[in-house]
Amino acid sequence: MSPEAKTGFPGGLDPGALCETWGTPLYVYDARVMLEQLATFRAAFSKLPHRILYAAKALSTLEVLRLFRKEGTGLDAVSVEEIELGLRAGFRPADILFTPSFPSAGDLERAAGLGARINIDSLSTLDKFVGCHGSNTACCLRLKPWLRAGESSEATERWREDSKFGIAMEELDTACERARSKGLRIEGLHVHSSSVILDADVFLEAAGALFEAARHIPELDYLDFGGGIKVPHREEDPVIDLAGLAHRLEPLYRDFSKERGKELELWFEPGRFLVSRAGILLARVTGLKENDGEVLAGVDTGFHHLLRPRLYGAWHEVTNLSNPGGEPAEYRIVGQLCEPDDLATARLIPEIREGDLLAFHNAGAYGASMASNYNSRLRPAELLLQEGEAKLIRRRETLEDLLHTQPGA
CA–CA separation, 367 vs 310, rounded Å? 12
Q: Which residues are catalytic?
A: 338
Residue 58 CA to residue 274 CA, distance in Å, equals 9
Label each residue of the chain as H, E or C.
CCCCCCCCCHHHCCHHHHHHHHCCCEEEEEHHHHHHHHHHHHHHCCCCCEEEEEEHHHCCCHHHHHHHHHCCCEEEECCHHHHHHHHHCCCCHHHEEECCCCCCHHHHHHHHHHCCEEEECCHHHHHHHHCCCCCCCEEEEEEECCCCCCCCCCCCCCCCCCCCCCEEHHHHHHHHHHHHHCCCEEEEEECCCCCCECCHHHHHHHHHHHHHHHCCCCCCCEEECCCCECCCCCCCCCCCCHHHHHHHHHHHHHHHHHHHCCCCEEEECCCHHHHCCCEEEEEEEEEEEEECCEEEEEECCCCCCCCHHHHHCCCCCEEECCCCCCCEEEEEEECCCCCCCEEEEEEEEECCCCCCEEEECCCCCCCHHHCCCHHHCCCCEEEEEECCEEEEEECCCCHHHHHCCCCCC
Neighbours of 368 (CB within 10 A): 25
Degrees to nearest 5, angle at CA 361 with 1 and 155: 170
